[in-house]
Amino acid sequence: MPLTADQITRFLKSVHPYDALPEDALAALVPQFEPWAVEQDFPVYDLGDRLHGVFIVYEGKIEVRDDNDVVVSHLGVRNSFGERGLMRDGIAVTSARAETSSVLLVLPSGPFRKLVDTYDVARKFFDRTRSDRPQERSLTTTLVDTLMAHDPVTCAPDATVQDAARLMRDRGISSLCVMQDNALTGFLTIRDLSGKVLAEGRPVDTPVSDIMARDLLTLPPTAIGSDVLHAMMEHRIGHIPIVQGNKLVGVVTQTDLTRFQAVSSAELVGEIAHAATVADMAKVTARIPQLLVQLVAGGNRHEVVTRLITDIADTVTRRLLAMAEATLGPAPVPYLWLACGSQGRQEQTGVSDQDNCLVLHDDVTPEQMPYFADLAKIVSDGLDVCGYFYCPGDMMATNPRWCQPVRVWRDYFARWIAKPDPEAQMLASVMFDLRPIGGDESLFTGLQSGTLKAASKNSIFVAHMISNSLKHTPPLGLLRGFATIRSGENRNTLDMKHNGVVPVVDLARIYALQGQLTEANTRARLKAAEGAGVLSPSGARDLLDAYDLIAESRLDHQVARVKAGEKPDNFLAPTDLSDFERSHLRDAFVVVKTLQSALGHGKGMLG
């Protein structure tokens, strides 16, 4: 398949870590890529082959298998594979074949090694992702605290076995911790009920204390996943209580280990891509919180975690588009579904609403518009079922205002730029984060570049956008304290979205506007702004470090809530942090406030 340098460049700008490379480095790298068109079932490489390059899926699907011929992952568009082989003397440690007719971009081993040796972002990415490595190795680095159920179900020793059985049935669990005077005295499993009660014909009012296990093997929450696995294998048990001091803090089961090993972004993407119904997809997306826990526990940086989670939302959207077309028939004219907000920036976390729009070909007629209204409803309703709730501000393709031909969109942007009233500033801020998800991407290319050029040249519009971006301020109080929320259900917490990451997101958007930069991702924008001279090297370093700390703190908070059996949110209580953590988080907010002040006083170019 012939691909132009411009097509490859646009594609790589949507793929990490290439999107974080300096413009000149990316331009030099693009000619090194070799497009491969392969048919279904084509063996890309076999186990033990000498690899001569790393692969990126431009189009289609690839299946990767390990040395036991077990499927490790199903890879789709933008996924890389083969890099671990190149990092191990060039010998393939997996095999790969095309699940469908596919187009691959191949970066030869020489340029690949130079890329990894030259740029930290590439070295860190390929060292961390290891997409063709069996996932079970992560148990050797994962704390039990991440794996265990944090609120184990208990019963008293004098409870009857019938009561215990009913409790297990009603709670959908396979074991109970037996507690007396707040101390763990025994453990009961379904196997005990079947083997010691049912098989021996004991009465249903037999006390639990007669059949429970008493000599218990326990582990502390500082143990790692492999400790649990080894203990289970050695002692032939399927449940291990987790005890800190004399206090029961959790339970780990074989099911917990299996679930942890099974959850990966590639696995979820593969299941969604082949889901038959919206309900099937919703069951998959319900596992995103556990994926969040696993990714953070594995030491992945926030930009890797949010990108992988966003990939799942992208796949859900494309699957829903395919379902809509299967129901409604082929689209009457070309269209493009775009995401904005956190999905557009590839920065989704464990809690996200949907922000999207439709750009239609200018040939669309009024008689054809109902087709796209129906398509938008099918997709938007499906996203809501899958956990991406409706946008409170109705920034969705179901709103006729955001389902329009290219010419209308061009007029929208022209009017917002010419008359930057508050609504125009808000809408422009949202729409500058647009990213194509499914459909004809050519509908967006000229629209984006033309809008950026016109907007950057209108000093009044830029000034209004700067003013609008400074409305979200870091939560800094007097005397080195935090300004927490004063009332309501989130009282005494920090809003790590609107007062945490959003101020940096807004700054990065302004820098991108000033430099006519097409990147949507916040980190990529900051790096590009430094490369374009919009942001000084020292300003870029400080802001990137501050953003990383704020974003990591937000993810850590969401993970803590998931592990506690709660829904992830953005409201962090400073009292949950150590003095050290509070001090560094406040320093990060000070950096953001300083950059905001510089921008507000016309010093944004120097940062």
**324-359 pLDDT per residue, tens:** 999 999 999 999 999 999 999 999 998 788 999 999
Structural class in CATH, domain 144-257 = alpha beta
Per-residue tokens: 390: 């409706």
Per-residue tokens: 538: 């020292």
pLDDT, residue 133, reads 37
Q: How far apart are CA 293 and CA 290, in angstroms?
A: 5
Q: CB under 8 Å to 190, separation ≥6 — which residues?
A: 168, 174, 175
Residue that the structure tokens 């949010």 belong to: 306
Structural class in CATH, domain 263-454 = alpha beta
pLDDT, residue 131, reads 37
Q: CB under 8 Å to 556, separation ≥6 — which residues?
A: 296
Q: How far apart are CA 239 and CA 253, in angstroms?
A: 4
- Parallel, antiparallel or unpaired: strands 175-180 and 183-189: antiparallel
Question: 462, 511 in Cβ contact below 8 A?
Answer: no
Question: 487, 461 in Cβ contact below 8 A?
Answer: no
Question: 321, 438 in Cβ contact below 8 A?
Answer: yes
Nearest to 349 by CA among 505, 213, 153: 505
Please report the DSSP string for 522-558 in residue order: HHHHHHHHHHTTSS-HHHHHHHHHHHHHHHHHHHHHH
What is the location of CATH 1.20.120 in the chain? 470-600
What is the location of CATH 3.30.460.10 in the chain? 263-454
Question: 431, 340 in Cβ contact below 8 A?
Answer: yes
Q: How far apart are CA 514 and CA 305, in angstroms?
A: 28
Per-residue tokens: 587: 């320093």
75 strand-pairing partners: 62
What is the location of CATH 2.60.120.10 in the chain? 5-132
Q: How far apart are CA 466 and CA 507, in angstroms?
A: 8
Q: How far apart are CA 379 and CA 174, in angstroms?
A: 38
pLDDT, residue 353, reads 87
Q: How far apart are CA 380 and CA 389, in angstroms?
A: 9
Per-residue tokens: 362: 């200018």
Per-residue tokens: 350: 């464990």
What is the location of CATH 3.10.580.10 in the chain? 144-257
Q: Rounded to two decimals, what is the model's pTM?
A: 0.63
pLDDT, residue 68, reads 55
- How big is the chain, counted in residues? 607
Structural class in CATH, domain 5-132 = mainly beta
Please say whether the dihedral angle defined by the alpha carbons of residues 482, 487, 491 and 492, taken in this order, is positive or negative: positive
Q: What's the maximum distance between 2 C-alpha atoms anywhere in the chain?
A: 86
Q: How far apart are CA 431 and CA 272, in angstroms?
A: 27
Question: 470-600 domain in CATH 1.20.120?
Answer: yes
* Chunked mean pLDDT (size 10), the chain, 607 residues: 84 83 90 92 87 89 71 71 67 84 91 86 62 45 79 92 93 90 91 91 93 89 80 82 88 79 72 90 92 82 88 92 94 95 91 91 96 97 94 92 95 88 82 89 84 86 88 80 90 94 94 87 91 89 93 94 90 90 89 88 50
Q: H helices within 419-441, ranges in order?
A: 422-431
